[in-house]
Amino acid sequence: MKIKKTEIIDTFAEAFEMCGARVIITADTKQWARAAAASMTGFATSVIRCKLEAAVESEIPESDTPDGRPGISVLLFTMSSKTIAGQLIDRIGQCVMTCPTTACYNGLESDRSVSVGGKLRFFGDGYQISKLIDGIRLWRIPVMSGEFLIDDQFGIQPAVGGGNLIIFGSTRGIALRASIAATHAMREVGGVFLPFPQGVVRSGSKVGAKYKGMIASTNDAYCPTLRSISDNSVVPENVEAIYEIVIDGLSEEVVKEAMRRGIQAAAEKGATMISAGNYGGELGKYKFHLNELV
């Protein structure tokens, strides 16, 4: 299948079940809300080593936040519900509570929840105060510039991690331009985030390695410099660079829609080919076939 001159490889992206949460950070200014979100989502690109994947979902206008201040929505995914509470407590406690003027609210309505503010309240050393607003419990934790306000409970729900596109370009500039266009299109879909820097990955990985103790290693099949020496190479002669985009979402439907938009946008910017990564369908619950998406 082709979109204009871009070949869409007949393959599928294989994605996994994860556990997701949404955090709403507000502050007196957008700059402080962004600072807290940037700190909170640091080192959160892949569960392979970071133990979670997280990124900013969107900015929220003052009219739509719980306290009428500028806001940022952050999505955080882990591989299980057992680990997400600890990640929320650590990252909110170290990166949001420490940031001037911020407050932190649950952004996900769900049947399941974990205690976050209910654990961080102990930082108040007995001076913390519980508050009920419309039946929702919050905690006011004293800090050196006043109080840090946080919801007691944060909702969690099943999520999808590891949707992906692999974008080939005849030059590095074209491949990167097509990838950036794809990330911009994907971010327009609510409930989706791209965990890697600006959403673009240049060091895609495969499972396993020849060195003991390595659970992942460079994906030699997609490295242009290894085209003539790797038996696994799938890099055509007319391709100079390849980038990967990883897509995580709160549902199968939003990941599909983000991938569809990304394919269209990358093709518009001249990608030579678009493919996806999978494990033969043996590991992940979700399979997103590219030809079906377009």
> Distance between CA 211 and CA 204 in Å, rounded?
17
> Distance between CA 275 and CA 195 in Å, rounded?
19
> Distance between CA 52 and CA 192 in Å, rounded?
15
> Distance between CA 105 and CA 215 in Å, rounded?
36
Which tens digit of pLDDT belongs to each residue from 36-86?
A: 999 999 999 999 899 999 999 999 999 999 999 999 999 999 999 999 999
96 CB contacts (<8 Å, ≥6 apart)? Answer: 23, 25, 36, 39, 40, 102, 104
Tell whether 128 and 182 lie within a shared domain. Answer: no
Tell whether 127 and 188 lie within a shared domain. Answer: no
Q: What phi, psi does 261 have (nearest 5°)?
A: -65, -35
- Checking if the pLDDT of 263 tops 90, the result is yes
Sole residue written with tokens 């692999």 = 166
- Checking if the pLDDT of 264 tops 90, the result is yes
Tell whether 164 and 153 lie within a shared domain. Answer: no
DSSP letter at 201?
A: B
**pLDDT on residue 155:** 98
Q: How many domains does the chain have?
A: 2
Range of the domain at 248: 2-14+160-293
Which tens digit of pLDDT belongs to each residue from 208-254?
A: 999 999 999 999 999 999 999 999 999 999 999 999 999 999 999 99
The candidate with the shortest Cα–Cα distance to 161, out of 8, 74, 285, is 285
Tell whether 187 and 134 lie within a shared domain. Answer: no
Tell whether 196 and 269 lie within a shared domain. Answer: yes
CB 95, CB 88: distance < 8 Å: no
Which tens digit of pLDDT belongs to each residue from 148-162?
A: 999 999 999 999 999
Average of per-residue pLDDT across 273-291: 94
Q: Which of 157, 180, 202 is the last residue of a domain?
A: 157
Which tens digit of pLDDT belongs to each residue from 83-123?
A: 999 999 999 999 999 999 999 999 999 999 999 999 999 99
* Token pair listed for 189: 């879909």
Tell whether 191 and 279 lie within a shared domain. Answer: yes
**pLDDT on residue 282:** 85
- Checking if the pLDDT of 267 tops 90, the result is yes
**pLDDT on residue 57:** 97
Tell whether 261 and 284 lie within a shared domain. Answer: yes
Tell whether 250 and 281 lie within a shared domain. Answer: yes
**pLDDT on residue 190:** 97
Tell whether 130 and 253 lie within a shared domain. Answer: no
Average of per-residue pLDDT across 180-192: 98
Average of per-residue pLDDT across 7-28: 97
How would DSSP label each residue in 64-127?
GSTTSS-EEEEEEEESSHHHHHHHHHHHIIIIITTSTT-EEEE----SEEEESHHHHGGGGTT-
Tell whether 63 and 142 lie within a shared domain. Answer: yes
**pLDDT on residue 181:** 98
Q: Which of 157, 188, 222 is the last residue of a domain?
A: 157
Tell whether 42 and 144 lie within a shared domain. Answer: yes
Domain of 136, CATH number, reads: 3.30.70.520
Tell whether 272 and 213 lie within a shared domain. Answer: yes
Q: Which of 124, 157, 190 is the last residue of a domain?
A: 157
Q: What phi, psi does 129 have (nearest 5°)?
A: -130, 135
**pLDDT on residue 283:** 84
Q: What is the pTM of this model?
A: 0.94
